[in-house]
Structure 1
Amino acid sequence: MTLRITLAGCTGWVGRALIAAIAGADDLRLVAGVSRSGAGRDIGEAAGMAPLGVAISGSIEEALQTPSDVLIDYTKPVAVKGHVLAALGAGRHVVVGTSGPSAEDYAEIDAAAQAAGRGVLAAGNFSITATLMRRFALEAARYVPDVEIIDYASAAKVDTPSGTGRELAEMLGAVRGASSAKPVAELSGVRETRGGGIGSPRPVQVHSVRMPSYLLSCEVLFGADNERLAIRHDAGTSAAPYVAGTLLAARRVASFTGLRRGLDAVMD
């Protein structure tokens, strides 16, 4: 069976790499794409390839008029929730690679997916090695409760923290023990220097660095009596690490109903 894919954000950094990968897969077919800047162009030509006979749509509503099985979204934080809800309303399963949605947004998406009887797989990072970083950090947090995250990205990145940092903090907050650090509310001076607390019931402090020459990195720091542990993931300059994980998610998202977070939800 060939899986029909609608790709939102098809002219972006990851989107262009996904076009080539989907076009080269025997079990996948790209039937529609979304890009405001690329509307009307052939999706293959937009990726620097030979024409694929698929015209790019300027909106998600237009793209969803073409029958498909899965929407893959790599767009912008302000647009992604609307795209997901529209796709679920149109009977699609959804893979979300866009960072930015909050825990409240994902709760709304989960409810919509359950009502539609469709699956949504969302990950702040579809890289296999980034997924392993998160798995190792979650294991460490069960034994070492003092944990904080440093999230690095380029000066131009709009959302803060990154999807990787936010998702990881939310998951760590659910499993970590009580921190030994003085609560932020009890500090003097400039409290904002302690970062932002994310997750529950025990929020994790996340510190976002946005500077030139940084790509995407996430560092998880653990502290215990007389010892420290650092777990770090650094992304390279290519979108290739995200492609395999995204396509794995697309192939497996129809196997469940509702929302799942993280590539490891389907890796095993």
Structure 2
Amino acid sequence: MRRVFVSGASGNVGRLVVRNVIERDGFELAGGFCRECAEDLGALAGLPPIGLRASRTLREGLEESKADLVIDFTSAAILMANLEVYADLALDAVIGTTGLSAEDFLRVETLVSERGLRWAIISNYGLGINLVMDFLSRVRPYFPYVTISDRHHPAMANAPSGTAAMLAQAVSEGPEGPVESREVYEGVLGGKIAGIPVHSERLPYPAPFSEHEVVLGRKDEIIRITISDFTSEIYMDGVFLAAGRISSMPAGTLVRKLSEFN
């Protein structure tokens, strides 16, 4: 039985994580942290009260809960500070919060390696997007043209999404098709991530809808892949796959793709 602490327990995804910890076999809710400190975690998740209240501070809550695993869906603004706490307490961690910079990841890699941690930091735990990434790794060598688009509601925290950046990194190695068009207006061909054009659209879609599209091209052939997610529930199977297997990974392991758990 894994004792799970949920950081960001009152957020859109955090509430789902709390419910799933309570309902799934093999997990026990140890505690949680969110802005609504001292409120019942069950009630915050839309369940009957469970007698377990959100902690006043992250470190205090983790120390008192005796958790052995933390699942974090908070915000980029506080994520690095959270990770430092998890490292200090030598906790296994499954992180779904996005927005870390390349410099942040260097620090993360150092923490994991030097302290023998087991962390999963994955931008999207949806099974669909991860299966698509496996497909992209096989076809990319034959398709020199690639563009990526992400579509979210206007309140989306980041642009591009962490998933769009993850997709760009996944297809960054391969032939590059020449584009002769001159940008009359800067950026209209897309912002570049690892050399891949990425476009972000922010329109009044109903939250938490999200959509990512990858278009690959070669002479006389185009592949267009669209992944549309309508609720955050689609992340739960991937999150709990990671939560169930992270402790079996070797010390000093940083997991960046869901497929690494296969």
**Range class of TM-score, shorter chain:** over 0.9
2:238 matched residue in structure 1: 245
| Superposition RMSD in Å | 1.6
SS at match of 1:247: helix
- Please give the alpha-carbon distance, in whole angstroms, between the structure 2 residues aligned to 1:179 and 1:84: 39
Once residues 238 and 200 of structure 2 are traced to their aligned partners in structure 1, the CA distance between those partners, rounded to angstroms, is 25
Give TM-score scaled by structure 2 length.
0.93
Structure-2 residue corresponding to 1:218:
212
TM-score (norm 1): 0.91
Which consecutive unaligned segments of at least 5 residues does structure 2 have? Answer: none
Q: Does the Cα contact within 8 Å between 1:123 and 1:261 map onto a contact in 2?
A: yes
Give the conservation status (yes or no) of the 8 Å contact 1:76–1:99. yes
Quote the residue 1:65 is aligned against.
Answer: 63
Query: One-letter code of the match for 1:168?
Result: L
List, as ranges, runs of 4+ consecutive aligned residues in structure 1 with deviation greater than 4 Å. none
Counterpart of 1:231 in structure 2 is 225
1:14-29 paired onto structure 2 within 5 Å? 14-29=13-28
1:40 aligns with 2:38: yes
Q: Residues 148-197 of structure 1, C-alpha deviation per residue, up to 9 Å, x if partnerless?
A: 10111111102011111011112221x22223224xxx934212112211
**Of 59-68 and 153-162, the range deviating more from structure 2:** 59-68
Query: Which residue is equivalent to 1:105?
Result: 104
* Partners of 1:33 and 1:56 within 8 A in 2: yes
Aligned length: 257
1:81 shift after superposition: 2.1
Q: Which moved more, 1:82-91 or 1:54-63?
A: 54-63
Q: Taking every aligned residue pair, what percent have the same amino acid on both sides?
A: 27
Paired with 1:39 and 1:179, the residues of 2 have a C-alpha distance of 53
8 Å contact from structure 2 (residues 168, 198) kept in 1: yes
Distance 1:151 1:91 in 2: 35
Cα shift at 1:133: 1.6
Query: What code does the residue aligned with 2:187 have?
Result: E
- CA deviations on 1:228-250 (whole Å, 9 max, x unpaired) are 111121001x2221111101111
Q: Which runs of 5+ in 1 are unaligned?
A: none
